[in-house]
Chains A and B, each alone.
Chain A
Amino acid sequence: MSDPSGAQARNPLYRAGFAVTERRDLWWMEPLLTVLGLGVGFGYLTWAAFLGNPEHGHYGPYLSPVYSPPVYEWFPSIMTYLPAFVSPALLILWAPGGFRATCYYYRKAYYRSFFLNPASCAVGKPWEKYCGETEFPLVVQNIHRYFMYLAVVILAFLWYDALKAFTRDGPKDYVAGAGSVVLLLNAVFLSLYTLGCHSLRHLIGGYLDCFSTCPTSKLRHTAWGGVTCLNERHMLWAWVSLGWVGFTDLYIRLVSSGRLADPVLF
């Protein structure tokens, strides 16, 4: 029988070591694709953020999500106090970057693919020591909800940018270019990702034990149901929104540099 202290006698089948497994399927494929996907997505956005010239992210009413909200325009003097390597985009991207870095889905993705902790289920790990998210620095992941609050605020600005992208010479002059649709889809995808957040799901109603006790708790149950619906596809929206943010920035860069024409749709 088991030792009551909880210490287990090692099963004689136990073999330790990185990638030790009896699995025969392509278990390494998912972490490999994740490394490639996150490498390309975050690699591009980091490159875009460090380029440092906001003019490349502007074209007419279009504003790249990398530069939105334009904090550097509201407080131009702030840039003079910062080191030269800090681009205007970095004033903004730390917030959505922190939101994604502490997101429960991305945690799964990078713990598996970058930290091999573990690379896949029932596959050996290269690490012997393990403290999970109980100690610094990973205990800081608990800050996720604060990044979520910031991400929701930034999302409001991205919706403003998306709607503004349908205007030209004023709020009543509606023109839809391909870029307007790109920016609109960017706001939609980011909303589907942000509003499916696990922390939001908890704060909006998940913390309640009883949904039927008062009228507001019923309202919260409806909201919780909506967030749950999005949360079930959180991984999908995490990838789609990440890819689309990069595509949106690239599109506006190409249009503003004259390498791509922005067709007027209607």
Chain B
Amino acid sequence: MPEQRSFRVFRGDAGGGQMKEYTVETGPGMVVLDAVHQIQATQAPDLAVRWNCKAAKCGSCSAEVNGKPKLMCKTRLDDLPADRPVEVRPMRTFPLIKDLVTDVSWNYEVNKKIPPFTPKPNGEWRWMQEDVDRVQEFRKCIECFLCQNVCHVLREHQKQPEFFGPRFFVRLAALEMHPMDAADRLDLTHRQSGVGYCNITKCCTEVCPEDIHITDNAIIPLKERVVDRFYDPVRRLLRKLFRR
């Protein structure tokens, strides 16, 4: 049955803005992005929203729905309380361009700081499934940057100049654990990426729409590798003795 639901959507730009109310006729199975599209089509043609696939694969429609970082295309209306308006705001960590669109280009600048995949010289290009499994999880990342948005180190403390953020710890982990990669990024991880700022409160994992276990499988293993190299005297000694 079609049902009228209220929405409060942020309208504005870097200079300021406000929440504006809209009423939308909703149907079964609708997601927040459907409602935003309907507002755009019928009531506010100038409403700015970034989207592409509507299938939780492009990572474009990241926003904050009722205060929680989410993909609008993956947030069903019937999962949200019907007794109050649905509030949609842009991601708070990134500079606002207009309405629901933010400037996430800082992330691409961070990405450039990470040395890309560097194949082992004369390596045999055969690897076993058990080697693939671990890094394959990280390939699920759709770069929606919800993890970056929710991370309190970036969101509250604005440590962008010295902290890469969870998305790029996932990338660092994917490269560091890659069985065919020869580059060493541990020094970068320790001294430049700011992995020590992460206090593993797992908000990045909670908001990841691809269910990547960012903290357990990427950040903590990176922290442990950093401990191996920089903090653990016994491992240091063993490395020297056995030249590993």
Q: A residues engaging B (CB < 8 A)?
A: 1-2, 4-14, 16, 21-25, 104, 107-108, 111-112, 117-118, 121-122, 124-125, 128, 130-134, 138-139, 142-143, 145, 198-199, 201-203, 206-207, 209-212, 218, 221, 231-232
Closest B residue by C-beta to A1:
B105
Q: Which of A117, A122, A211 interacts with B150 by CB under 8 Å? A: A122
B46 at interface (Cβ–Cβ under 8 A)? no
Is B21 at the interface (CB under 8 A from chain A)? Answer: no
Residue on B with the closest CB to A23? Answer: B67
Beyond A12-B15, A24-B81, whether A145 also contacts B232 by CB under 8 A is: yes
Q: Which A residues lie within 8 Å of B221 (CB)?
A: 201-202, 206
Cβ–Cβ < 8 Å partners of B14 in chain A: 9, 11-12
Report the separation of the CA atoms of residues A65 and B178 in the bound assembly, to the nearest whole angstrom: 42
Q: How far is the CB of A13 from chain B (nearest CB, A)?
A: 5
A118 engages B227 (CB within 8 Å): no
Residues B197 and A2 in contact, CB atoms below 8 Å apart: no
A211–B15 CB distance below 8 A: no
A138 CA to B199 CA, complexed, in Å: 9
B76 cross-chain contacts in A, Cβ below 8 A: none
Residue of B nearest to A109 (CB): B201
Q: How far is the CA of A198 from the CA of B217 in the complex (A)?
A: 9
> Are A211's CB and B197's CB within 8 A?
no
Cβ-closest chain A residue relative to B160: A6
CB-defined contacts of A207 to chain B, threshold 8 Å = 224-225, 228
What number of residue pairs across chains A and B have CB atoms under 8 A from each other?
173
Given contacts A118-B156, A142-B227, A198-B216, A209 and B199 within 8 Å (CB-CB): no
Q: A201-B221, A207-B225 are in contact. List 13 more A-B contacts (CB 8 A).
A: A11-B94, A12-B96, A25-B68, A107-B199, A122-B69, A138-B199, A139-B196, A145-B227, A198-B216, A202-B228, A209-B176, A211-B179, A212-B127
Also in contact, A142 and B231, with CB within 8 A (given A108-B201, A206-B221): yes
Interface flag for B33 (CB, 8 Å): no
A2: nearest chain-B partner, CB-CB:
B106
Binding site secondary structure of chain A: loop
Q: Which of B105, B110, B155, B157 contacts A122, CB < 8 Å?
A: B155
Give A117's nearest chain B residue, CB to CB: B199
**At the interface, yes or no: B92 with Cβ under 8 Å from chain A?**
yes
State whether A11 and B200 are in contact (beta carbons under 8 Å apart), knowing that A122-B155, A211-B130 are contacts in the complex. no
Q: Are A212 and B202 in contact (CB under 8 A)?
A: no
Query: Measured between C-beta atoms, what is the minimum distance from A203 to chain B in Å?
Result: 8
CA distance A128 to B153 in the complex (A): 11
Complex contacts, A138 vs chain B, CB 8 Å: 199
User: Residues 74-99 of chain B: 1 if any A CB is under 8 Å from the residue's CB, otherwise 0?
Assistant: 00000001001001011011111000
- Choose among A1, A13, A23, A207 the residue with the greatest number of B CB atoms under 10 Å from its CB: A13
Knowing A8-B94, A132-B198, A133-B199, the reply to whether A2 touches B84 (Cβ < 8 A) is no
Q: A118 is contacted by which of B15, B105, B152 (Cβ under 8 Å)?
A: B152
Please, how many angstroms separate the alpha-carbon atoms of A199 and B241 in the complex? 22
